Structures are given as structure tokens and as C-alpha cells.
A and B are shown apart, each in its own frame.
Chain A
Amino acid sequence: MSKSRELHPVINFGLVPLLQLILAFLVVGLLIVLIGENPVQAVQLYVTDVLMSQVGIGQSIFYATTLIFTGMAVALAFHAGLFNIGGEGQGMFGGIGLTFVALIFMGHFTGGVGFDLPGFIIVPLLFIAAAIGGAAWAAIPGYLQAYRGSHLVITTIMFNAIAFSIILFLLTGWFQNPDNPGDPKSPLLPEQWWLWKVGDYYQYRLVDLEAKYKAFKDSGLSVPEIRDQNPAFWEARAQARSMKNSAANVSFLFALLVAVGFWFFVWRTKWGYAIRSIGFNQTAARYGGVNVPRTMFMTVCLSGALAGLASTNIILGNGSDSEHVLRETGLVGLGFVGIAVALMGRNHPFGIVIAALLFGSLFQWGEVIQLKGQFLRPKLNIDKEIVVALQGLVVLFTGALSLMVVWAVRWVAENLLGGVGLAKEIETGERA
């Protein structure tokens, strides 16, 4: 072994990812210029309508919650040296599991005869059902990888496609809302099971505010008069009206909790030790008494369970009152974005949360561009799928081309800065 000078951890874990991200953004900026739009305008929209807007922040957190789960799903498998691309399908099956249990309690399969249990009993059950649903869908590819050597990447991709067919089949059949046969979605889940969200607070306030508004109107004031005479009231009402659907909900806190648990599980338990050991070196793991196929299988199942939990946020924590339902489009691609999140977050829960927040906000940015771009003067005509391109670039620069930036930074540190930023030489004893 040799003595080596490595990049200082601050540079390696701070500057390098930042540079990689900047590169990805620069390329997207270039793309925006190429299609004849104004990148400055796009960035402005990001700042004003995502970062500086309460609604934008709330939605970003909502998407980020899903991404923390799908990101951790990818990361857990990565630690075992496996690539689980099935987050999308496993997330769908989480939703299927959750909805299935919910529908049983709702009496959907039994002609309306259900069990009326309080939310604090049912909601945890629904969470468990979501995890089991995701795990079950991951179990087959996991088994095939662990015991038959079928490549997980290919099987999970196939399973994503299969999951999509199955969810459509269920939503047009067994799970379908009988009141609305044209629309493939499940019946609305009862309100007492919905997760507490930021919007609830504003909805609660809005009751009073709207009553007051009505009182103002009844007293014969015109709208401009109300606004001018009671600016504080007017602003509060406007805020409450825009925030009443804000989807940031308690499952974000749950996600953070799971992230802490993820850290503990991976780095502080014998199971995590086993998972990481098979990720690095299967022979050594086998020598160390780790049952490699079983650990692989369990890891993929757990990874699927994490992806399945993403559906709790989407179904139980949805911002829109009418969307507490299972839909085939519920995940809106966030299962795949989990890959980018895991890569950017370096498979560490702290990094994953940060990356999820970033990608959540970018996702919201895409929505805003699509919704508001047409009404800007001048128009900003960008398709929201540009976020997918950005995601690809982030995966490219933080994942596949990672060494490009690392080497560039090293070169600069060694040749231009005289070794600034390189960690001290490590004494490794005598040479082999």
C-alpha cells in the first residue's frame, strides 16, 4: 500500500457535490437558451414561486417526503451492492397494499359493511400495509437476484411495467370507485384517516375568516372597501385561501424519523454491517458468517418496503381533498427520481434528505413552469419534463462522471494551489 494524499473531507463531501450540481444546472441553463427561452426568467420563477412562496415550499416538502422514501429505498439496496430501479413499481404496490387494507375497513369488498375503527388504529395499519405492499413487490426480483442470479436491474424494470398494468387492472375493476366508473381511481378514503397537513390549519382558520368576510359583505361593504379597510384581515384570508391545500404533512416528520432509523440500521446494527459487507465484498461477508443470498433478499424487500411507504404521503397526505385515492399516476415519476436523490445524497440519509428537498423543489419548479409560464410576459414556454433532463444530468455528473470533477479538483489543488485542500499524508507503516 502506498502513502496517499487524498482530498480533504470538506472538499470531497462539500465542494465536489456542489460543483457537480452546478455543472448539471449549467447544462440545463444551456438547454433553455438553446430552445430559445430565457434561463434567468426560469431561475426567477424558481426563486419567487418555489423558494420564496409558502405554497411552493409546502409543495416542495410534499414531494421531498416521497423522495426521502424512494431515495432511501435506492440507497439501502446500494449499500448491499444492488441496484433497485423498481422504486416506481414498489411505490405503486405500497399504494395497492394501503388501499386494499383501507378498502377492507371501508367495506368496499363486503357491500359497504366495514369496521368503524378510530384513525389512530387504522392509520398505523395502513402504513404497515404500504410497507408490506412495497416489500412484496420487491420480493420476487429480490429472490431471483439472490437465488437465481437474474439481474435486479432488468427484473425491477420489468416489474415496474407489470405493476403499472396491475394497478390499472385493479383501478378499473376490484378497487374501482363504483360511483365514478369512467375514472380509474379508488374510492375516496374517509377523512379521519387523512394525515394532518399544514393546509388543515389554514382550512380551520379559513372558517372564521370566511365568516368574518361574509359579515363584512352583509354589512354592505364592497370588496375593495373590505380590502382597504382591513389589510391585515385581507392578507390573512388570502394566505389561508392559497395555503388551504398545502400538502406538507406529518409524514415528512415520519420520513425524517425513518431517515434517522436508516442511519442507525445501516451503520450501527449487525444487520447493517451484514448488508454493507455484502455490498463491498461477498467473499469476505461469507467468511464473516453472513448468509449472502438471504441478506440480499431481505435487503431488496426492505428497500421495497421503503419505496412502498412513499405511498402514505401521496394517498393519506395529499393536499387536495378529492385526491386521497389510489391512482396509477400517483407517484408521478418520483420513484425514479429516488435514484438521483440517492446518488446525490451519497447513500447517506442526511445527504438524501437534503437532496430530496432540492429535488422536491425542482419538481415543484417544473409544475410552476408548466402552470405559470404561459401567463408570464414574456411567455416562458418550457415543458415540465425539463426536470427529468435535469435529473438525468444530476445522475450523470454526481454518479457516472463523478471522477471527472474529483480529478479536476485534485489537479487544481495539486498543480495550481500547491496542495491546498489535500488532506495530510497518511502513515501506513512499512511497504508491502
Chain B
Amino acid sequence: MREIAIELSGISKSFGPVQANKEINLSVESGTIHGIVGENGAGKSTLMSILYGFYMPDEGSMRVFGEPLDFNSSEKAIEAGIGMVHQHFMLGEPFTVLENIILGAEGGFMLSGAMRHARETLLDLSERYGLTVNPDAVISSLPVGVQQRVEILKALYRGAKVLILDEPTGVLTPQEADALFDILRSLKEQGTTILLITHKLHEIMDVTDRVSVIRRGEMVGHREIAQTSPEELAEMMVGRKVLLEVDKTPAQPRGTALSVSGLNLVDDRGVQRLTNVSFEVKAGEIFGVAGVSGNGQAQLLEVLSGMEAPTSGTITIGGEPLGRTPNEVRLQSMGHVPEDRQHMGLVTAFPAWESGILGFQASALYCDRGAMKTGLIKEEMGRLMEKFDVRPPNPLLGTAKFSGGNQQKIVLAREIDKAPDVLLVGQPTRGVDIGAIEFIHRQIIAMRDAGTAILLVSVELEEVLSLSDRVVAMFDGYCSDAHVTADMDERSLGLLMAGEFDRTQTGGMAA
């Protein structure tokens, strides 16, 4: 039996009326990679934040290498040898790697000594673990994968013996993720204990030794990887058999509804965001766009919805050139469910009935010579909310008061109800609970079957594979050729997502 690196007992934490963690017990053996898996919002990150001294739990105790540790002090957690790599990097973007690394571990009042020491240590660490980084580079100039390395170095610099990684692969390509796992394995070999938090089962199966499953704030079980299967873990995560396959009949594609050719976009800072993107979406099909987030999908959606003017290229919808503003594009019967409903799809400070007409506030449907038809809008929203099973179906309630899934249904209701010819859908199920996911998927398929051309952007591989009829992948602003989804699997799509496709040609026209 190895030494126990971390032992949690009876941890409970609630935020107001929400119980994020409930009587959680966990013990992690030192020198292993221990996975913690659970759905989005199951309480994984809260648990890790408690472990790291970021939150104070309401109840429970913790031991690190046998020594009891006070909660609510990151300083003590660091002293005890815990290091954390957060899901959202906590790096100061205009600062150098070195400055980021010494933050909080400066040693003395003056920086110069710490800088020198950090430079030497960094050299040493990079040799030992293959973590190469230029210490004088400014963070904002580094690719995401390297930024993550800086986070890991930050923890190691503080002498971390236990490394917690919170959803580390969310922003990485499969290949970058593999590189990360190599690093984690070599860390393990040299004695570091690693806690890996993720909602991706294959990562757990690939890299961890043991796994603990958390569901709705409660620990539902611990398993040795050698003695479990993805199916068992998935069932533990959601508490019932999951239907990974989506019920749908083969598509009946008709004529081209949306055509994109030679699209380029250079943003305000002069960064090339889209390069020579070309594809066609037919009426009656779901066209999937896979890719790790940040590879140009957001920009593609912005251009297609008229929010951003392309630098060059042509886009036609139903044969005519795409309008130049979101309003013109909407009039061409294009709907848009944006990737980020909280920041784009809804004004969360508005009541639901106002959010429910965003984009149509000036249309003759809801507006008469500038004055909004309030009574009519509220009535219609009430009807739509019933139809789309928004809970509670109260159009006067503030948008922010709805749960993520219900907010997403408000956006879908608004866009789908106008029966658009083309529908852009970005990350339809991000942060949405299982029940709502099924509902949303059914709605999208129903739209397809009614003859709408659907462009689906998702970073969830499984979602793209199960929903779309044809699929492309985006990498660094480039778009691959289109493939029939039935011919693709996770591995082949993963290669496309990693940029393993011919980027010299005008893509997107095959299949």
C-alpha cells in the first residue's frame, strides 16, 4: 500500500441554496494519476477549489500526506505541496512567463533575486520533464498549449507534490492533449501525484490509475481503471443508461442553401482568423463543423450571421449574396443560435419576453413605427415557452433566472419559431443538462427533416459525430474537406481537428 497523498472526509459545500458538494470522501494514493469524472456542473471544480484552499467548505476535513490541513488558505495548500492548473488559466497576459511563475513565490521583497532563481529552476524543470518554455516570452504571444505548460511549471516551481488539473484538455487538440498526457506520465514516474478532473471518459481510461465518479455533488463510487469500463463510468456519471446514439433517419438533402467560398478574415489586430474557407450546406442536412474551440469557428459564425464583414470571399444564401448586417441576414431567413448564449444570444438582464425577441425587436412582427407591441410579444413568448418546454414558462421572469438549459431553449425557440431556411447552431448543448440535451437534439433533427439547412458548430466530438450528416473540421482558421459523417470515427475526425488535412487547396467541396 502506498502512502495516501490526499484524504478528504465528509466535505460539504453549498452556495446559497445550491448544494455543490455533499459529504464527499476521497483518498488519493501518492505517485498515481487519479481521475475525477462527472458531468458539467456536478461539483468537480468546487471540490478541487476547496482542496486548493480557494473555498471554505461548510463541513469536513482534509489530510495531506497524513498531516491535517486548514481550509481556505491557498498559501497553506501550496506549502503542503498542492499545485493547481485551473480550467481557465490564471496568467497575466501582458506579463512574461517568468513574472507569472514567480508570482506568489517571490522569496524576498526584491524581484531580481527571484527572477534569477526562477530562471535556473525553469531550466532544470524543463530538462527533467520536457517542459520547454521561453522564460522571457509574453504570455499573450504563446499558444494555448504552451500557456498550459506555464501553469504546470508554476505549480512545480512552488514544489508541488500533488498536481490538480481541472479539465486540462478542453482547449487542446487531441494531439496537444496526448503531449500533455506524456508530461503527466513522466511527472508520475518521478513521484508526483496527479488529480485529473475531466468529463471526458476516454481520457480517464487512457491516463489514470484510479477514478472517482461524482454526480450532483455526491461521490458515487471509486474504481480501479483496470477493473472498469467506459459504459460503467458513464452510467455512474448520469445515473442511468445513456443513449449516446441519436435517433435519426438518413438525411434527404436538396439544393444548396448556403454556399461559402474562399472566405478570409483578418481581425482588428491583423491576425488571420479564417483562411480560404469554402463549403456548401444543403437544405435538409446537418453540416457539422468540428474543431477545438478557438480555431476560427466563432469567427466563422460571426461572418455567416452578418456580425463581421469578411476580408474576402463570397457567401450566398439561397442563391443571393449574404446581407451585410445581422438584420439583413435575418431577413434572408437565416437563424443563428450563437455559441455563447449568456454573452451573445441573450441579454440576461432583460426579462424573458425581451430576450425572446432579440434580433427581431425592429421587425414588423413586434414593432409598429418604432413602438413595440408589448402585449402581443408577451403573449407570443408565453406560447413559445410552453411549446419549447421552458421552465418556468413565465415571460416576465428575468432571463438570468433561468437555468442554462432553459436559457438555451429560449434562444432555440426564438430562432426555430421563425422557420428559417438556414440555421446556424453553435455549441447547442454546452452547459446544458442531459434531459435538455435530448430535447435540443430532437429539435435540431426535426428542423432538418422539415428542410432547413443546418450548420452545426460543436467542440464535442460525440455530438458532431452523432448529429451531423456531413462534417468538416477547423484548425487554425483553415477548414478541411467535407466528409460523410457515417464514414468517420473519433480517430479520423481527431486527425482532421489536429490540422492533418491538406491546407493548400480550396477545401470543403468533396463528398
Contacts and interface: CB of A to CB of B under 8 A. Distances in A.
Contact of A286 (B15, B326, B392): B326
A419 B349 CA distance: 25
Given A268-B372, A284-B346, A430 B403 contact: yes
A432 B41 contact: yes
B325 interface: yes
Nearest to B370: A269
B343 A289 contact: no
Interface in B299-339: 305, 307, 325-327, 330, 336, 338
Interface residues of B, number: 49
Interface in B378-435: 390-392, 397, 400-406, 431-433, 435
Given A2-B15, A4-B17, A429-B402, A287 B307 contact: yes
Contacts of B325: 289, 291
A431 B350 contact: no
Contacts of B350: 276-277, 280
Contacts of B432: 432
Nearest to B41: A432
Given A287-B359, A430-B433, A1 B338 contact: no
Nearest to B301: A287
B392 A429 contact: yes
A309 to B, nearest CB: 21
B374 A268 contact: yes
A145 B357 CA distance: 28
Given A274-B361, A426-B397, A430-B433, A288 B326 contact: yes
Interface string B349-366: 110001000110110000
B403 A271 contact: no
Most buried by A among B325, B336, B372: B372
Interface string A256-300: 000000001000111101101100110111111101000000000
B347 interface: yes
B362 to A, nearest CB: 5
Given A269-B370, A271-B370, A273-B361, A287 B18 contact: no
Contact of B372 (A1, A269, A291): A269
Interface in B40-84: 40-41
A428 B330 contact: no
B38 interface: no
A431 B10 CA distance: 23
A133 to B, nearest CB: 25
A280 B402 contact: no
Interface string A194-215: 0000000000000000000000
B347 A281 contact: yes
Interface string B2-20: 0000000000000111100
A430 B402 contact: no
A3 interface: yes
B431 to A, nearest CB: 6
B261 interface: no
Interface residues of A, number: 32
A427 B406 CA distance: 12
B226 interface: no
B371 interface: yes
B392 A430 contact: no
A431 B362 contact: no
Nearest to A271: B370
Contact of B343 (A3, A284, A291, A431): A284
Contacts of A269: 370-372
A192 to B, nearest CB: 36
B242 interface: no
Contact of A280 (B344, B349, B401, B431): B349
A284 B344 contact: yes
B273 to A, nearest CB: 16
Contacts of A427: 391-392
A231 to B, nearest CB: 56
Contacts of A264: 371
22 contacts: A1-B402, A2-B18, A3-B16, A4-B401, A264-B371, A268-B374, A270-B372, A274-B361, A281-B348, A284-B347, A287-B344, A288-B359, A288-B361, A289-B362, A291-B325, A426-B397, A428-B406, A429-B391, A430-B391, A430-B435, A430-B436, A432-B431
Closest 5 CB pairs of A and B: A432-B404, A429-B391, A289-B327, A289-B326, A288-B358
Interface of A: 1-5, 264, 268-271, 273-274, 276-277, 280-281, 283-289, 291, 425-432
Interface of B: 15-18, 40-41, 305, 307, 325-327, 330, 336, 338, 340, 343-350, 354, 358-359, 361-362, 367, 370-372, 374, 390-392, 397, 400-406, 431-433, 435-436
Given A289-B359, A432-B432, 17 more contacts: A1-B403, A2-B18, A3-B17, A269-B371, A276-B347, A281-B343, A287-B359, A289-B327, A289-B330, A428-B392, A429-B390, A429-B405, A430-B406, A430-B433, A431-B18, A432-B40, A432-B404
